[in-house]
Amino acid sequence: QIRSVEGFLALDSRANPTVGARVVLEGGAVGEAIVPSGASTGTHEAVERRDGGTEWNGKGVSGAIAAVGGELATMVVGMDATEQRLIDEAMIVADGTDDKHRIGANAMLAVSLATARAAAGALDVPLYRYLGGVGAHRLPVPMLNVINGGVHASNNLDIQEFLIIPHGAATFGEALRWGVEIYHRLRSELLAKGHSVAVGDEGGFAPDLGSHEEALELMVAAIEASGLVPGRDCSLGLDAAASEFWREGRYVMVGQGLELEADGLVEYMARLVDQFPIVSLEDAMAEEDWDGWSILTERLASRVQLVGDDIFVTNPGLLGKGIERGVANAILIKLNQIGTLTETLDVVDLATRSGYRSVISHRSGETEDTTIADLAVGLGTGQIKTGAPARSERAAKYNRLLAIERELGPGARYVDWTRAQR
Ligand code: PGA
Ligand code: ZN
């Protein structure tokens, strides 16, 4: 039974305030969680409640924190912490809006996750085991964002994320080592060519480059220089975050000097897939461009994983629409896009039942909270996207996955999901 709920303020990795919650149970178990925050947010995401005004540049969260310790606490104190669904549903009903803007998705998610952590603590099991039971044994293949562009950096790359995917490793630990070695090789190459090695919001390098192709060439070279085989050991992924450069029906890539219609952008992406060992393509089309998404899916779904982020925003209704229209073949899962753990579990379940893969994801504004690492193992989704292997808010998730792998010992599994695609 929940004895008390308190909200608190914390900073995220971009010097903005965010919401934390602390849930204490009658038996003394404690659970804490801190919520992240995005920059290239989807229009239909659940609403992050901010104070406005001048303090914290308008990004204060005192209203959301007050809701955690006030309205939400009053509601959930006395409830059984293991009744996650009942607790989340009570918060959803009390909020009463479609997008959680009244109470705030940041307030609700903090309580939702802190409750799960407290319940796991009371049962004396790690969070991944609480969420996944005895079946939780699969470590995710990481997608490491080694070159940052778009709104996550101030360089000339329109594509937001250039990812390395070390799927051919034998263990998660080996995959992470490969990722780290490639990251350092890439850094040396950039320096040798006179480029900046300053980093973007997710810890990847953020140089000005001649083209997106040049970024991908540098990544392939870094994989080879690490003694690995591109496509076999480690492949590439992109998150275009195309909603960010969609202007009244056209895709305007200012940094690249390109202006394309939907079918032109699909051909552009198809050329990249032909030229480079790309296995995953996220948000290659804008969130409003359902027709463009259909063209993309028809053209590339048999060859690469097409991940919907802004178009689905971890929302069961929007994923349902995508399944109906046959759009994309995977979904990015961000807890704070929907605002409760229960709804997140429901979306992953719907995706799995419909043959869509799920990729558990961080946000560009992160904290030391490592819930997504446990979520990825608990649900066995097989993939996680949590930034470069640098900057502590990103490394914290990788470190948690290393700890889970150690704890699982010989029971841990690392599965190459790309094999099913080849
Ligand atoms: P965001 O970026 O957290 O800024 O939305 C991550 C992504 O687009 O996948
Ligand atoms: Zn994205």
Nearest to 183 by CA among 4, 323, 387, 399: 387
pTM of the model: 0.98
pLDDT tens digit sequence for 221-230: 999 999 999 9
Q: Which two tokens stand for residue 137?
A: 């044994």
Helix (H), strand (E) at residue 49: none
Q: Which pLDDT does position 420 carry in this prediction?
A: 86
In 217-257, DSSP assigns E strands to: 235-239, 246-247, 250-253
The arithmetic mean of pLDDT across residues 152-168, rounded, is 98
pLDDT band at 82 (very low <50, low <70, confident <90, very high): very high
Q: Which atom of ligand 1 is nearest to the CA of 241?
A: 8
Is the confidence at residue 77, as pLDDT, over 90? Answer: yes
Pocket of ligand 1 contains residue 309 by CB under 6 Å:
yes
* Catalytic residue, candidates 32, 202, 343, 405: 202
Binding-site residue set:
152, 160-161, 239, 282, 309, 334, 361-364, 385
Q: Which of 157, 361, 384 to mutate to test the pocket of ligand 1 (most atoms within 8 A of CB)?
A: 361
Sign, CA dihedral 262-268-271-273, equals negative
Whether 100 is catalytic: no
Q: Is 41 in the pocket of ligand 1 (CB under 6 A)?
A: yes
Q: Give the residue, out of 48, 160, 312, with the most ligand 1 atoms within 8 A of its beta carbon, to mutate for a pocket test.
A: 160
What is the reported pLDDT for 298? 98
- CB of 287 closer than 6 A to ligand 1? no
How far is ligand 1, taken at its centre, from the CA of residue 310, in Å?
9
pLDDT at 422 over 90: no
| Residue 205, token pair as written in the block | 């390098």
CA of 239 to the centre of ligand 2 (A): 6
- CA angle in degrees (0–180, nearest 5) for 269-325-99: 95
Active site residue 71: no
pLDDT of 118 higher than 80: yes
d(CA 318, CA 311): 7
d(CA 150, ligand 2 centre) in Å = 11
57-66 pLDDT, tens per residue? 999 999 999 9
Say if residue 26's pLDDT is above 80: yes
Average confidence score pLDDT of the chain: 98
Nearest alpha carbon to residue 393 among 370, 409, 373: 370
With pLDDT > 90 as the criterion, what percentage of the chain qualifies?
Answer: 99
**What pLDDT, in 10s, does the model give residues 37-75?**
999 999 999 999 999 999 999 999 999 999 999 999 999
Interval between CA 282 and ligand 2 midpoint (Å): 6
Which of 249, 246, 224 shows the shortest CA–CA distance to 235? 224
> Ligand 1 mean position to 3 CA, how many Å?
35
pLDDT value of position 170:
98
Among the listed residues 409, 349, 408, 410, the one whose alpha carbon sits nearest the alpha carbon of residue 374:
408
Confidence of residue 421 (pLDDT cuts 50, 70, 90): confident
Query: Which positions ≥6 away from 405 have C-beta within 8 Å?
Result: 139, 171, 172, 173, 412
**pLDDT tens, residue by residue, 343-364:** 999 999 999 999 999 999 999 9
Do 280 and 301 form a contact (C-beta atoms < 8 A)? no
DSSP 46: P
Active-site hit among 59, 100, 334, 397: 334
Phi-psi region of 367 (alpha: psi -120 to 50; beta: other; left: phi over 0): beta
Q: Which of 81, 103, 95 is nearest to 29 (CA)?
A: 81
Does any ligand 1 atom lie closer than 6 A to the CB of residue 239? yes
